């Protein structure tokens, strides 16, 4: 599987569970990484913080620029954008608070027809 985590409101907010989950998934042979709406300017800082906070070395890191380059733009909202991009990137599972939808919850999206 290729499993991604949102940063704000998700990996950053619930570190203990997502660090444990990311490590367990990698140990089991799965690819683990980030799918965030952050800008390209934050990429280096995000990666530094990801490591400093104890997350395992990511197998991939996608931000708004990656979504733009993939042509995933102009969708109704960030939730639709991220899910469309995840499908193109071959992400099979994504954890996200989707700020506007679930301010106090984490959504676990399973993308059964992921390509990539
Ligand atoms: Mg978020």
Distance between Cα 40 and ligand 1 center (Å): 16
The rounded Å distance from CA 114 to ligand 1 centre is: 21
DSSP-derived 3-state class of residue 5? strand
How large a percentage of the chain has pLDDT more than 90? 83
**Beta 31-35 vs 60-62: how paired, if at all?**
parallel
What pLDDT does 114 receive? 59
User: For the whole model, what pTM was predicted?
Assistant: 0.93
Position 16 pLDDT exceeds 60:
yes
Q: Report the C-alpha gap between 92 and 78 in whole angstroms.
A: 18
Collect residues with CB below 5 Å from ion ligand 1: 6, 8-9, 97
Q: Of residues 107 and 55, which shows the higher confidence score? A: 55
Q: Are 2 and 114 in contact (CB under 8 A)?
A: yes
On the question of pLDDT at 116 being above 50, the answer is no
**Cα distance between residue 7 and residue 50, in whole Å:** 9
pLDDT-based confidence at residue 112 (cuts at 50, 70, 90):
confident
């Amino acid at each position: 599987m290729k499993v991604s985590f949102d940063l704000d409101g998700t990996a950053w907010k619930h570190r203990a569970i997502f660090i444990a989950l990311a490590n367990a998934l990698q140990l089991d042979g799965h690819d683990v990484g980030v799918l965030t709406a952050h800008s390209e300017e934050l990429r280096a800082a995000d990666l530094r913080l990801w490591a400093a906070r104890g997350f395992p070395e990511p197998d991939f890191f996608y931000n708004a620029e990656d979504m733009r380059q993939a042509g995933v733009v102009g969708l109704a909202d960030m939730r639709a954008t991220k899910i469309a991009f995840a499908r193109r990137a071959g992400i099979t599972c994504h954890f996200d608070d989707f700020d506007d939808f679930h301010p106090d919850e984490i959504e676990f999206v399973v993308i059964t027809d992921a390509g990539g």
